[in-house]
Structure formats: structure tokens, C-alpha cells
């Protein structure tokens, strides 16, 4: 075989190898990506080594094959390696501390103004992903024709759907053979979990999903995205639905804010329709308002950590640590003004036992707000809540922060060994020994406010007069139940309305019998059960 034929054959084989490698690895063709330069080294080696063997000189010495690279080969391999090294050095925090610190723009805000007190928390996802998976799998298990062919994605994305927090997960093919047998039909739907009501719904799509993570060959989601956007540096890919329930994948695209590889931040977002493969690229500021997840919670925490540790310079972040602060290890979610926000505590780098404040970060816009609320960090609060019911062995979900009687309060769910939520828990931020639990938010909050009053943290609350109504009730049924250590009297009237009062507050409630007509004052509020404010007596 002539040398010319060998060269042509070598080039053909190397091109095939490189094509397969690209098809599998899908690196971005972007000079601001380290992955690109590593891929370039691989490509040079794939082409260069065979050509060196064919065109270069080689000898056999002492039974070993000695290969002599042409100097050009060494230069070609060295160039991308040098770019990686130099780019990484000059992109580091050592040379660019202030640039990193300025990436996150943080507004200081007032907790009580941004977090108004509410009776029932409906804007916070207290359910973690593990519990959401349990409810999602349970719902999917009810659909025998679906569960046999598909499974739910392990990623449950937090979204705001019609101003209510939801966790959402699309179906995926169970394995290669399920994809092979069902690829013509596609993915039929998704599951939406309500973390407030702890319920789940399966949504059947009119048009199935074609491009998903579990697809193969041309149906693979990332392969479709890479071939559509070969130069983009992808970050997170989140499944979401718009206000009409139509499915999309939201793809965040990164660009460096510091030199070549440093301070990677989201600057564009792709809205990808997995049903037909169409997509639209937006600048971050122009992304549609219904999108919730553009910046990941991990990136939000990382950017704040840059600001918190590097504002005083690189050496201060390493040695002095003066005024250095970082976020805690995890984050929760809050829905505010139709957007999803991440919540996490902020602590000094020299102490991990308490928080000096907390931040919320808008998952769509990247906006930050900082609140000075000193007290226990989240894991201490979780431990305090678990200790309150230690005999049950419940574990706590990561908490969020609410306003109760003007006091910053952690709220979380306690779940059993099967990850089923069982109780609500409230823990005072400033004093995490003040803990209250209840089977409902109302019960937990009532017990918590009572503790605050007993500890002298707040004065006894009085319900505004405009919320108190008078009524005469014909009693149809009376029942007693012990909840959270308190005896609750449930009274059903002739129209089926249910009232409840607390025996500890007024022992004369025990005298009520079926057929009595009672006079009460009750608190006007939304909900199926009406709370009695004052029991005025039984009519003669």
C-alpha cells in the first residue's frame, strides 16, 4: 500500500472516529469553553498520531517500538494545552477578586415588608424532591398502561403555575427497548405535584414529547440541542410548562464574565419545544415572563459566595476572612409576584452554627435581595424540629422563612421513613428552642404563636374586630379530638358548616349537645372549618 493511500485511509478513519466522538460527547464549539480545548487536543491526537506513524520516522530498539513525533505535532498539541493553562490562571479569583465580587448585585431589603404575614402558607414549596417523587410515582402507578412503558424523570423542577408553587416531572422511556417500541408514539404526558396540598395530577398531552433525555440517537434531547446550537455552552435544562400547560425545556446558556473561563453566568436562554423540536433563543432580559428557571439555585449561591468572600480581596478570603460570608449548604423556594425565588441562609465563614441573614434570588432574572435576620442556621432548625418528635423518627425537609407575628420563622415539613409528609413544624429563627408542630399549618401556627406568647416574645394577639362575626348556630353534631396535645371541639350545624373551638380556651364548650342553639363569635377566614373566637353560651 502506497504512502499516499495510507494517508487518505488514515484521514478517513480519523474523521470517522472524531465524528463518533463528537456525536457521543457533544462538546460546545466555543473558545470560551475548556471542554472545547480538551476536545481540540483529542482531535489533534486522533489525526496526528496516525500521520506521524505514516510520515514520520520510527525504529525498533531492544524489542520496543520507538515513535518520534514531528516537532509540528508537539506544537499543535501544546497550543490548546497552553490556552487552557493561561486562560485558567488569568480567569482565577487570584487576579480577578473584585470582578467576581461584582457579578452578583444584591439589594438590602426589609423582611417584614417583603414577607407579609399570612394565615396559611401557599407560596412556599415545603415538599422536597424526594417526597415529590413518592407522590408522582403513586400517581403514575394508577395508570397501568403508562407505568408499564414509562417512568418519571428524577428531576422535579420547581415552577410557579398560576401563582401556585408546583413540582413538575415529565415521563421518560424506561429503557432502550421501551424507547424502541414507543418512539413513534412519543412521551404521552407529565406529572404535576402540588407541594402545598400534597397531591399529584397526571397531565395527558394532546401532542406527545419527541425529544427527551431518555431518547436515543436523534431523539436524544441534548443531541438535538447541540446540533441546533453547536456553539452554546449549556448549563441547566429544566422541564417547564407555560400558563396553558404546554411543555417546554428551558435551557440556560453560559458565558464568562471574567477573562476566558471565569465567572460563568447565564446570558441567554433557549425555549425548546420537545414536541416538534422548534426553539427560540432569548437574551436573559427578554425571556418570557412565564419561565421560572433560568438561573439554577446552585449558581445563585455560588455567585453570592463570590461576593461574600471576595469583596475584601483574594488574600482576605484566604487568610483574614474579615467580613467574609457564604450561603448555607442548601436552598428552598418561595413564590413572590409570579416568580420563583431561591431562599438560603447567609453565615460567616468562621461560623456554621448561626446565620447573620438570608438571601432570596429570582430564578428567572437573577435578582438578589438580602435580609438581616440573625439566628439559627437551617440545619440547626431542622434538628430542633426533628427533636420535638424524636420518638416518631421523622426527618425534616429543608425549611423556608415566613413572617409570624412579625417574627422570622422557619417552616418545614416533617416526613416519615417513606418520605410521606406527616407534620408541619415552625421554629423561631432567633431562638430555635421555640418549636411547634401540627398536622395542619393552622394547628402548627396556633401552637407556635401560643409559645411565643408564653415566652414573652410577643404580646397576646387580638383578632381585628372587622374579622370577627356573630352567629347563632343550631348544633347538628359535636365531636372532640386531641390534636397536638390540645382538645379541639368540632361543631357541625344544620347546614353542614363546621366550627371548631379549643377546650383549653373555654371549658364550657364541653356542655354543648346536639340540638342546642349556641351563640358564638367566629373568625372570618377562608377554609372549610371556621374557628370560634368566643363562645357566648347556649340559648335557653
Answer with the one of 90, 118, 147 that is the final residue of a domain. Answer: 90
Q: Is residue 101 part of a domain?
A: no
Mean pLDDT for the stretch of residues 502-506? 82
492 neighbors 476 (Cβ within 8 angstroms): yes
pLDDT over 70 percentage in the chain? 93
Q: Is residue 77 part of a domain?
A: yes
pLDDT digits (tens, 9 = 90+) for 369-416: 999 988 888 999 999 999 999 999 999 999 988 888 888 899 999 999
- 492 and 404, same structural domain? no
Answer with the one of 324, 341, 373 that is the final residue of a domain. Answer: 373
- 337 and 225, same structural domain? no
pLDDT digits (tens, 9 = 90+) for 123-143: 677 788 888 888 888 888 888
Domain span including residue 183: 129-294
Model confidence at 60: pLDDT above 60: no
- 315 and 276, same structural domain? no
Q: Is residue 460 part of a domain?
A: no
- One-character DSSP codes across 182-240: HTTT-EEEEEEEETTTTEEEEEEEEEEE--BTT--GGGBHHHHHHHH-TT-EEEEEEEE
Query: Which is nearest to 131 in space by CA: 207, 198, 75?
Result: 198
Please tell me the predicted confidence (pLDDT) of residue 496.
Answer: 87
> Strand pairing partners for 459?
none
Domain count, the chain: 5
Mean pLDDT for the stretch of residues 354-375? 93
- 253 and 133, same structural domain? yes
- 167 and 285, same structural domain? yes
Average pLDDT value for the chain: 89
Helix (H, G, I), strand (E, B) or coil at 502: strand
Query: Which is nearest to 516 in space by CA: 531, 535, 533, 488?
Result: 535
Please tell me the predicted confidence (pLDDT) of residue 524.
Answer: 66
Mean pLDDT for the stretch of residues 271-284? 97
- 445 and 474, same structural domain? no
Mean pLDDT for the stretch of residues 292-302? 96
Answer with the one of 266, 294, 322 that is the final residue of a domain. Answer: 294
Model confidence at 530: pLDDT above 90: no
Distance (Å, whole) CA 69 – CA 119: 75
Please tell me the predicted confidence (pLDDT) of residue 56.
Answer: 65
- One-character DSSP codes across 438-468: ESSHHHHHHHHHHHHHHTTSSPPP---GGGE
Please tell me the predicted confidence (pLDDT) of residue 119.
Answer: 62
Q: Is residue 97 part of a domain?
A: no
Mean pLDDT for the stretch of residues 41-60? 78
Q: Is residue 103 part of a domain?
A: no
Model confidence at 214: pLDDT above 70: yes
Amino acid at each position: 500500500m502506497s504512502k499516499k493511500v495510507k494517508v487518505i485511509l488514515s484521514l478517513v478513519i480519523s474523521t470517522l472516529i472524531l465524528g463518533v466522538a463528537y456525536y457521543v460527547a457533544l462538546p460546545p464549539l466555543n473558545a470560551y469553553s475548556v471542554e472545547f480545548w480538551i476536545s481540540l487536543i483529542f482531535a489533534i491526537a486522533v489525526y496526528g498520531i496516525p500521520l506521524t506513524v505514516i510520515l514520520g520516522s520510527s525504529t525498533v530498539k531492544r524489542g520496543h517500538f520507538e515513535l518520534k513525533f514531528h516537532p509540528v505535532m508537539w506544537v499543535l498539541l501544546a497550543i490548546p494545552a497552553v490556552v487552557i493553562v493561561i486562560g485558567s490562571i488569568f480567569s482565577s479569583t487570584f487576579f480577578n477578586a473584585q470582578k467576581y465580587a461584582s457579578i452578583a448585585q444584591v439589594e438590602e431589603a426589609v423582611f417584614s415588608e417583603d414577607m407579609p404575614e399570612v394565615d396559611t402558607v401557599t407560596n412556599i414549596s415545603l415538599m422536597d424532591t424526594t417526597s415529590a417523587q413518592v407522590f408522582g410515582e403513586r400517581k403514575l402507578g394508577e395508570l397501568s398502561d403508562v407505568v408499564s412503558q414509562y417512568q418519571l424523570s428524577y428531576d422535579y423542577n420547581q415552577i410557579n403555575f398560576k401563582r401556585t408553587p408546583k413540582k413538575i416531572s415529565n415521563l421518560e422511556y424506561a429503557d432502550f427497548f421501551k424507547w424502541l417500541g414507543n418512539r413513534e408514539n412519543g412521551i404521552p404526558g407529565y406529572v404535576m405535584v402540588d407541594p402545598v396540598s400534597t397531591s399529584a395530577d397526571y397531565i395527558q398531552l394532546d401532542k406527545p414529547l419527541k425529544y427527551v433525555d431518555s431518547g436515543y440517537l436523534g431523539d436524544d434531547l441534548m443531541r438535538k440541542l447541540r446540533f441546533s446550537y453547536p456553539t452554546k455552552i449549556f448549563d441547566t435544562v429544566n422541564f417547564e410548562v407555560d400558563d396553558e400547560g404546554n411543555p417546554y425545556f428551558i435551557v440556560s446558556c453560559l458565558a464568562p464574565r471574567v477573562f476566558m473561563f471565569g465567572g460563568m453566568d447565564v446570558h441567554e436562554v433557549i425555549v425548546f419545544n420537545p414536541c416538534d423540536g422548534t426553539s427560540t433563543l432569548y437574551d436573559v432580559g427578554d425571556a418570557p415572563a412565564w419561565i421560572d428557571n433560568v438561573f439554577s439555585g446552585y449558581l445563585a449561591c455560588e455567585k453570592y459566595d463570590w461576593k461574600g468572600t471576595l469583596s475584601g480581596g483574594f488574600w482576605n478570603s484566604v487568610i483574614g476572612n474579615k467580613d467574609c460570608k457564604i450561603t448555607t449548604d442548601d436552598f428552598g423556594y418561595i413564590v413572590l409576584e409570579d416568580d420563583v425565588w431561591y431562599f438560603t441562609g447567609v453565615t460567616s465563614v468562621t461560623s456554621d452554627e448561626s446565620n447573620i441573614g438570608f438571601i432570596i434570588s429570582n430564578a428567572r432574572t437573577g435578582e438578589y435581595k438580602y435580609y438581616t435576620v440573625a439566628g439559627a442556621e437551617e440545619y440547626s432548625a431542622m434538628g430542633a424540629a426533628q427533636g420535638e418528635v424524636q420518638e416518631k423518627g421523622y426527618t425534616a425537609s429543608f425549611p423556608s422563612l415566613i413572617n409570624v407575628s412579625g417574627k422570622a420563622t422557619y417552616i418545614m415539613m416533617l416526613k416519615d421513613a417513606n418520605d410521606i409528609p406527616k407534620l408541619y413544624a415552625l421554629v423561631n429563627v432567633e431562638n430555635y428552642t421555640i418549636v411547634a408542630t401540627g398536622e395542619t399549618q393552622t394547628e402548627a401556627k396556633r401552637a407556635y404563636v401560643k409559645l411565643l406568647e408564653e415566652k414573652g416574645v410577643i404580646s397576646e394577639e387580638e383578632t381585628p374586630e372587622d374579622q370577627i362575626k356573630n352567629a347563632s348556630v343550631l348544633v347538628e353534631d359535636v365531636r372532640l379530638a386531641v390534636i397536638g396535645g390540645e382538645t379541639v371541639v368540632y361543631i357541625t350545624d344544620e347546614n353542614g358548616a363546621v366550627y371548631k373551638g379549643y377546650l383549653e380556651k373555654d371549658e364550657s364548650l364541653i356542655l354543648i349537645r346536639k340540638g342546642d342553639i349556641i351563640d358564638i363569635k367566629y373568625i372570618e377566614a377562608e377554609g372549610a372549618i371556621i374557628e370560634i373566637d368566643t363562645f357566648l353560651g347556649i340559648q335557653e
